[in-house]
A and B are shown apart, each in its own frame.
Chain A
């Protein structure tokens, strides 16, 4: 029994951790490695080169796709933060129960393809052209599902005395919102903003359905490239994706520390 126990603790579980790491990182490692390969080959190493990255920067299609992705991601982040914060603050101050905000969990819980089909069908039904509008509509729908729970959690932690004091001392609701609430909510706003930005940049399904013939986001472009086969240029784009998202995660993690510090104060 004692041997068995030791076997579980010292051998089995570290092994599972190793399996998980191998599973998650082996493909990514190979992918990044071969983005620096000098030849168009996925086995043989032909020396270090940055030529795929050069090709990437000089390709107008990729730059267009990047621009479209950035436009969509930035407007999505802005809109979902604005709408979400307004909703939380207004419904808490208005004294209505926050029951309504549970409604937004649906956006995360439903399979994403359903949201995509919904956006596609309503835009087609009213004969609106697909493009930036439908992309932003869909991504914001998804973003609200993340912004509202995160900001609400922070709002519920806040001491109501702070806003009451501000109102008692003669500040208007607007001033209280701007000078008291927003700074207090800032960690959660930054965290959820980063989250929504990453989600929107990475999103594939909604972009695939709603981008229409004129606009192409980066992930849809990569998807259509993969359909034609392996190309080291996709490795290079993927590496850029990885670098950017690791930077964003790093930012988010350091913000979490900020959040904890503020929460303990």
Chain B
């Protein structure tokens, strides 16, 4: 064997060895634990006979009780957060990408993204501090008799939504801005040249082209807010139980690991389903577009005589 061939093989082996740690880390700390959770959720221990057996009782318990409601409540909260974030973020991203002079863009974008760079706990505490019983907003509202002296601004659903939106808003702005910023401005001119007014240009050119950014933003907001634990706990008190807080309760307080594992797995299925739906939408759109253009091409080729 020549030296060069040996070196080649050696390099191949070595490259394999060096790519192992990452894969190993991923497997040991993500995939194996996931299998472990699946295992926990479908087995149980019979104390009288001392044997292990397979069971779907925990899943049944989840679907038959409050837990499925908790999961849907989290789903609704996450969807609401994503929708409000979208409603605020789209105009902001649009304004930033298309209306603001170039030299202000960086500083505006930077200041909008900055709060999400600090700890989530800090952001939540900031809202907590602002809204608490003796906080500024409560005092001002009480001064004008807009709320009664005993009324709390914390510990309600609205506060949770406010906290969620302000924490996750930058994750919606950024991807939409990125797509709009990269968009060729000639398209807008051509659309105007072809007779579309501004609204039509927006509806048929700008918005469809910004959809990838919207999808990314929705994923980036929906998924963390679905599993969020700190915001509902600190701003909503113990009144509202969501998926995240139920998991914390099952794993850290009541130590009911088997039910907790089933809860985790049922809960994960929802975002996975959502991802699949978004993916399917994209595929269907691409399919429809290609079919349309194919039909058009077919039409042109069968009616060649029309254009000579």
Contacts and interface: CB of A to CB of B under 8 A. Distances in A.
A235 interface: yes
Contact of B117 (A148, A205, A226, A245): A245
Nearest to B264: A117
Contacts of A137: 25, 29
B176 to A, nearest CB: 12
A17 B18 CA distance: 47
B105 to A, nearest CB: 12
Contact of B132 (A21, A42, A83, A110): A42
Contacts of A249: 110, 113-114, 117
B121 A219 contact: yes
Contacts of B165: 23
Nearest to B140: A43
Contacts of A99: none
B129 A27 contact: yes
Contact of A121 (B33, B126, B252): B33
A150 B169 CA distance: 23
Interface in B12-67: 12, 14-19, 21-23, 25-26, 28-30, 32-34, 36-37, 40
Interface in A90-108: 90-91, 93-96, 100, 103-104, 106-107
A155 interface: no
A253 B106 CA distance: 10
Contacts of B112: 20-21, 24
Interface string A15-41: 011011101111110110010000001
Contacts of B115: 24-25, 28
A246 B119 CA distance: 11
A209 B247 CA distance: 11
Interface string A110-124: 111111011111100
B26 A119 contact: no
Given A122-B29, A173-B14, A23 B22 contact: no
Contact of B18 (A24, A87, A112): A87
Interface stretch (B91-99, B144-152, B184-192): B91-99
Nearest to A18: B92
Contacts of A106: 30
In terms of DSSP, what is the predominant structure of the interface of chain A? helix
Q: Which of A100, A113, A138 has the most CB of B within 10 A?
A: A113
A144 to B, nearest CB: 6
B136 A241 contact: no
A123 B166 CA distance: 34
B135 interface: yes
Contact of A113 (B34, B127, B227): B227
A25 to B, nearest CB: 7
Contact of B125 (A31, A119, A125): A31
- Interface size classification for chain A: 35 or more
Q: Which of the listed residues A24, A91, A138, A241 has the most CB atoms from chain B within 10 Å of its own CB? A: A24
Given A24-B166, A109-B223, A122-B33, A219 B119 contact: yes
B257 interface: yes
A141 interface: yes
A45 B198 CA distance: 50
A7 interface: no
B306 interface: no
Interface in B154-182: 165-166, 169-170, 173
Interface string A69-103: 00000000000000110110111011110001001
18 contacts: A17-B95, A20-B112, A23-B165, A23-B166, A25-B115, A83-B25, A89-B15, A94-B11, A100-B23, A103-B26, A121-B261, A122-B28, A140-B25, A202-B121, A204-B230, A222-B121, A249-B117, A253-B110
Interface of B: 11-12, 14-19, 21-23, 25-26, 28-30, 32-34, 36-37, 40, 88-89, 91-92, 94-96, 99, 106, 108, 110-115, 117-130, 132, 134-136, 139, 165-166, 169-170, 173, 197-198, 219, 223-224, 226-227, 229-230, 234, 244, 247-248, 251-252, 257, 260-261, 264, 267-268, 271, 275
Interface of A: 1, 5, 9, 12-14, 16-17, 19-21, 23-28, 30-31, 34, 41-43, 83-84, 86-87, 89-91, 93-96, 100, 103-104, 106-107, 109-115, 117-122, 125, 137-138, 140-141, 144, 148, 173, 198, 201-202, 204-205, 208-209, 219, 222-223, 226-227, 230, 234-235, 238, 241-242, 245-246, 248-249, 253
Given A23-B165, A27-B126, A90-B19, 10 more contacts: A90-B17, A117-B37, A121-B33, A121-B36, A122-B36, A144-B22, A201-B119, A226-B125, A241-B118, A245-B118
Name the 7 nearest CB pairs between A and B, nearest first: A111-B227, A118-B33, A94-B15, A27-B126, A90-B18, A87-B22, A202-B119
